[in-house]
Structure 1
C-alpha cells in the first residue's frame, strides 16, 4: 500500500530553526526518516537551493531535490514545517512555512499545483503558521481537488 503523501508524522509545528541550511535539512530529514526518500536526497535539496532559491514569497519555501535526485525518491511525499518566528532565507526573505517535496515521476507536478492553490491565499498561509493542529494542515491540502 502506498504511503499517504502528507501524513501527520510529516508535519512539525512551531519550531525554531536558526538558518536556511538547518531548515532545509530538517524538512528533508522528515521525508528520509519516514521512508519517502534516501538520506542522500537531503543533500540534493541543499544542492537545489544553491542553484536557485526555493523561497516562493509570502513567507513560504518549497525545498526539493535536484533533477538528478529522482532515483533517491522511494515514495511521493510532503513534509510541512512551521517556524512562526521565521528563518532567514537570504536577501531579507523570511520563511515561516517550509514544504518539502519528493515526487516520483511526474507526481510532483500535481502536488505543486495543489500547494500553489492552497498557498495562493495568504489567509491559508497564516492559518498554517498559527495552527497547533496537524489535522488542520492536512484538511487544508485535502480540500483542493
Structure 2
C-alpha cells in the first residue's frame, strides 16, 4: 500500500476549527486502516502543545511519540479546506488550506515530506493544491510525479 492514496485525500472539505480539521484528517487515516482511533487523540494532543503549521496554508498534524503503538502502517492523509481554517488563534491571518495528517512507523514518509516541503515553498503550487478539484494533482505532487502540475 502506498503512503498516500486517493482514499486518503478529501477535497472541498469544511471544518469549524483546527480541531475539527485534525479529526477529519485523522479519520481518513483510521478509515483506511493506517491507525487506530486513539492516534487521532494524539494528533490533537500534539497540536495543543506545538503548532504543526508550516506556512503557505499547510499544516501537518501528527501524533506524539507515545502514540506510535496506535500506528498500523505508515500513511498520510490530505484534507483540503478551500475556505481555510484559522490555525493560530493569535494570528487570524494564519490560515490552513491543506491539513496533512501523518502517521509514520519508520522513515517511509520522508520522500512525501520532502515533496511536500518543495510544494509548500512554491506559493503557486501550494495555492493550486488548496483549490484544485483534481485528486490526482495532489496525489502526484506529494508522491513526486514529475510534471504533475
TM-score with structure 1 length normalisation? 0.92
Unaligned runs of 5+ in 2: none
* Residue 107 of structure 1, CA deviation: 2.9
**Deviations 1:53-111, CA, capped at 9 Å, x for gaps:** 11111111100000111111111111011111111112222111111111112334443
TM-score with structure 2 length normalisation? 0.89
Question: Residue 12 of structure 1 corresponds to which residue in structure 2?
Answer: 10
* Cα distance in 1 for residues equivalent to 2:71 and 2:49: 20
Unaligned runs of 5+ in 1: none
* Cα distance in 2 for residues equivalent to 1:140 and 1:105: 22
C-alpha root-mean-square deviation of aligned residues, in Å?
A: 1.5
Q: How does 1:55-134 map to 2 (within 5 A)?
A: 55-90=53-88, 91=90, 92=92, 93-134=94-135
**Count of equivalent residues:** 143
* Cα distance in 2 for residues equivalent to 1:108 and 1:139: 15
Q: Is the 8 A contact 1:114 1:144 kept in 2?
A: no
